């Protein structure tokens, strides 16, 4: 019997909603609503250790709008998951209390490990034609980056404290970023990737899958799309060399040049360069370790993983 569930993923840069029906034959999801708002909840958290009051207010206002949709669809189960920025914020109770008041559910501040597992579940469950063998799923968020390796289920995973917003706020202040800023950011990313390589055997990956807004936007740019079209991006396979070229172009672009690309959401314009640097360095590392020449892109990620878990 089909059930309706609602999943909310509250990250460092955006808050997203999926209302889906599922539980029937095959266990697949059928989207009823899929929404995203850039609220920049993690603005300044890396520097201050606290949520900015305006960012918190934007997040709760978006949650109220999502609550209306959840009520309209009569969702039988709701899960609100918060990730990197909320893990780091000393005043997270303000968000937790607000979510409880609006939705009547307890907010789940998930660990980086669970975040990685949910991303893997959401991504792999919707892709067809994957090469036999381990899949490496990479989720580049605003505050953290998750790598998880597995076949039917994750076997190795790690969450790194670096994302598009965090890296931009720490280093990439120029317009465009200076060579010195880029070198400092690259040094941090490479050091964290050394940690990742020690925890996740990258050489075993037969397929590399990238998820979340940074990766899907960069993929759309690499494919030459004029507008953001998830149906075309999902499942796409791109050469790693082309993906890295797209990353380099965006990292070296000015804010005005990035804004000229209609495919880039306005809320990502100032931080996508940081995400591009992370994605490029990671792809280079994976290619060296595993010999992979291409990467797959999934529009489905932690949000779908949350919904699938709700359905049991």
CB 148 within 8 A of CB 207: no
Read off the pLDDT of residues 181-208 as tens digits, 9 standing for 90 and up: 999 999 999 999 999 999 999 999 999 9
Would you list the domain boundaries of the chain? 3-109, 128-302
pLDDT of residue 267: 83
Arithmetic mean of pLDDT over the chain: 90
Q: Which CATH class is domain 128-302?
A: alpha beta
Spatial separation of the C-alpha atoms in residues 43 and 169, rounded to whole Å: 9
pLDDT higher than 80, residue 88: no
Read off the pLDDT of residues 277-297 as tens digits, 9 standing for 90 and up: 999 999 999 999 999 999 999
| Mean pLDDT score, 148-160 | 90
The confidence band for 1, taking pLDDT boundaries of 50, 70 and 90, is low
Spatial separation of the C-alpha atoms in residues 285 and 276, rounded to whole Å: 14
Spatial separation of the C-alpha atoms in residues 228 and 261, rounded to whole Å: 10
The Cα diameter of the chain in Å comes to 58
Read off the pLDDT of residues 49-71 as tens digits, 9 standing for 90 and up: 888 999 999 999 999 999 999 99
Q: What is the pTM of this model?
A: 0.84
Do 3-109 and 128-302 share a fold?
Answer: yes
CATH number of 3-109: 3.30.420.40
């Amino acid at each position: 019997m089909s059930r309706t569930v609602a999943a909310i993923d509250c990250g460092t840069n955006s808050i997203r909603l999926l209302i889906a029906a599922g539980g029937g034959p095959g266990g697949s999801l059928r989207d009823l609503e899929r929404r995203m708002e850039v609220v920049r909840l993690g603005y300044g958290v890396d520097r201050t250790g606290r949520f900015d009051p305006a960012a918190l207010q934007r997040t709760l206002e978006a949650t109220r709008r999502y609550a209306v949709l959840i009520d309209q669809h009569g969702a039988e189960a709701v899960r609100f998951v918060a990730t990197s920025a909320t893990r780091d914020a000393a005043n997270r109770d303000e968000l937790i209390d607000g979510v409880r008041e609006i939705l009547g559910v307890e907010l789940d501040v998930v660990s980086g490990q669970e975040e990685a597992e949910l991303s893997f579940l959401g991504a792999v469950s919707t892709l067809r034609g994957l090469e036999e063998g381990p899949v490496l799923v990479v989720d580049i968020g605003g505050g953290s980056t998750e790598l998880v390796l597995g076949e039917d289920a994750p076997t190795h995973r790690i969450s790194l404290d670096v994302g598009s917003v965090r890296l931009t706020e720490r280093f990439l202040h120029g317009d465009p970023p200076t060579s010195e800023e880029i070198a400092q950011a690259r040094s941090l990313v490479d050091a964290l990737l050394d940690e990742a390589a020690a925890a996740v055997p990258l050489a075993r990956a037969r397929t590399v899958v990238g998820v979340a807004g940074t990766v899907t936007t960069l993929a759309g740019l690499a494919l030459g799309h004029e507008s953001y079209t998830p149906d075309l991006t999902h499942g796409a396979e791109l050469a790693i060399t082309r993906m890295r070229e797209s990353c380099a172009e965006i990292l070296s672009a000015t804010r005005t040049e990035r804004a000229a690309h209609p495919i880039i959401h306005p809320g990502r314009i100032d931080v996508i360069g940081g995400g591009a640097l992370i994605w490029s360095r990671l792809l280079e590392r994976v290619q060296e370790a595993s010999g992979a020449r291409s990467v797959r892109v999934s529009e489905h990620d932690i949000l779908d993983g949350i919904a699938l878990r709700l359905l049991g």
